[in-house]
Each structure stands twice: as C-alpha cells, then as structure tokens.
Structure 1
Amino acid sequence: MTLILERKYGERGTNGTIYFLGDAVCHTIELPWQDNKPRESCIPEGRYKLKKRVYPKNGEQIGIPSVQGREAILIHPANNAMKELHGCIAPVTTLTGEGTGDHSRKALEELKELVYSLWDMEAEVFLVIRS
C-alpha cells in the first residue's frame, strides 16, 4: 500500500499533502530543502517503507528508517517546521504558511489510524515523496 506525499518547496519551509488512493489524508510541513543536511533539511524525494518505531521521548510513532545519510526520521506532530522539526515530517490539518500549519496532533491521529489499519491487515506501507 502506498501513500503519496506531494510537496511544494519554499525558502521558509516545505509544504505538502499526503494522498491515499487518490484522496487527501492530511497536509504536511517540513524544513526547507537544504541538500539533505541532517537536522537542517527535509528528506530527499523517493520511496520509503514506513515502520512502527517506539522512542522514549515521543512514544510510538511512524518511522522512516531508510533515509540515506539520516537517522531517526519520524512522522510526528509540529505546527512550525523551523521551530519544532529537525528533518522529520509533521502532519497538519491546515497549512497556514511556508512550513507552518495547525492542529498537527489531530492530523497525526488520522494518519496513524490509516497507517496502523493497513499494518493490522499485514500490509507493507510505503511513502512516495515527490514534487
């Protein structure tokens, strides 16, 4: 099963929308593209297998473990990419500007509900990121 993240790049942040089977699931915010620099850039476009990860600080999250040159990339809540993200992806309900949005926890709950239901059906879940 594949989720599609379509991005738009900006100087102050990267905005996107995640789609599943053609329907929008949520919007996303990320850091601007900075040549995949750890903790400063969004991750490169590509196809990634999603995995369930448990982290002491964030609890159980959707992880993106196989990003070249990066580690601990998660999909977790944040409403301001520049202030709250270090290379991860944050789902948001509404985009409010470049790299900003609102109601991130609500959007994450909806995304997790979808992804976990696919995992419960023993499906592999992939995220394809493109512009």
Structure 2
Amino acid sequence: MVLMLNRTYFPEGTQGVLEWNGTLVCYTIELPWLYNQKRISCVPEGEYVLQKRFSPKFKWHLHLRNVPGRDLILIHPANEAKMDLLGCIAPVMKHTGIGKGNSSRKALEKLKVLVYEALERNEEVKISIQSKK
C-alpha cells in the first residue's frame, strides 16, 4: 500500500492532500520547508515506510522510518503546525489557513483505520511525499 501526499509549500507552512488509490483520505499540515533542519522543517520529499507507534502523549499514531538526517518523524494530531509540530506531519479534516487545520484527531483515526488494517494483513505501508503538480 502506498499513500500519496501531494504538497503545496508556503513560507508560513506546508499544506498537503493525502490520498490512497486516488481517493482523499485527509488533508495534512506541516512546518514550512527549511532545508530539512531538525525540528523546524517539514519532511523531505521521498518515500517512507510507515509503522504503528504508541506514546503516552499521542497514544497510537504513525512513525515514518528512515527520514534522512532526522529521527522520530511522526504522523500525529495537531491543528496548528507552528505551535504543535516539531517536523512531524499532522492529518486534518480541513485546511483553515496556511499550516492550520481542524479535526486532527478525527483525521488521524480515519488514517489509522486504513493503515493499521493493511499492517495487520502484513502489508508494507509507505507514504510517498511529493510536490503538488
């Protein structure tokens, strides 16, 4: 399974559309592209393997494996990139501004159902991140 994240970059943040098989799963928000600097930049474009992850703060969420020059890059709930993210990706149900969205927990639940079901079938799940064409 490969999820496609198509992004649009702005100086204030990064907006994304996350799809699977051409169907909208949710939207995403991230920090702006700042040359992959840790904790202040969005994730570099590329393809990454996803895995389940649990933490006390975010409960069950997703982890992007092997992001160059970075570690612990997650997909977790957040509604405002600049306040809530340190280089991670936040799913949202709707964009409300640049780097802002709403109903992030609902969007994450929708995404987790799709990804976790595939993982339980022992499928490899990847996310392909690219610039919107």
Shorter-chain TM range is: over 0.9
1:54 offset after TM fit, Å?
2.3
With the length of structure 1 as denominator, give the TM-score of the two structures: 0.97
With the length of structure 2 as denominator, give the TM-score of the two structures: 0.96
- More off after superposition, 115-124 vs 48-57: 48-57
* Structure 1: unaligned runs, 5 residues or longer: none
User: Would you say how many aligned residue pairs link Structure 1 and Structure 2?
Assistant: 131
Counterpart contact for 2:14–2:32, Cα < 8 Å: yes
RMSD: 0.8
1:85-114, CA deviations, whole angstroms, 9 ceiling, x for partnerless residues? Answer: 000000000001110000000000000010
Identity %: 51
SS of the residue corresponding to residue 113 of structure 1 reads helix
Residue aligning to 2:100: 100
SS of the residue corresponding to residue 51 of structure 1 reads strand
Residue aligning to 2:50: 50
Task: Please give the alpha-carbon distance, in whole angstroms, between the structure 2 residues aligned to 1:130 and 1:119.
Answer: 23
Provide runs of 4+ in structure 1 moved above 6 Å: none
Task: Please give the alpha-carbon distance, in whole angstroms, between the structure 1 residues aligned to 2:108 and 2:96.
Answer: 17
Task: Please give the alpha-carbon distance, in whole angstroms, between the structure 1 residues aligned to 2:12 and 2:80.
Answer: 10
Residue aligning to 2:65: 65
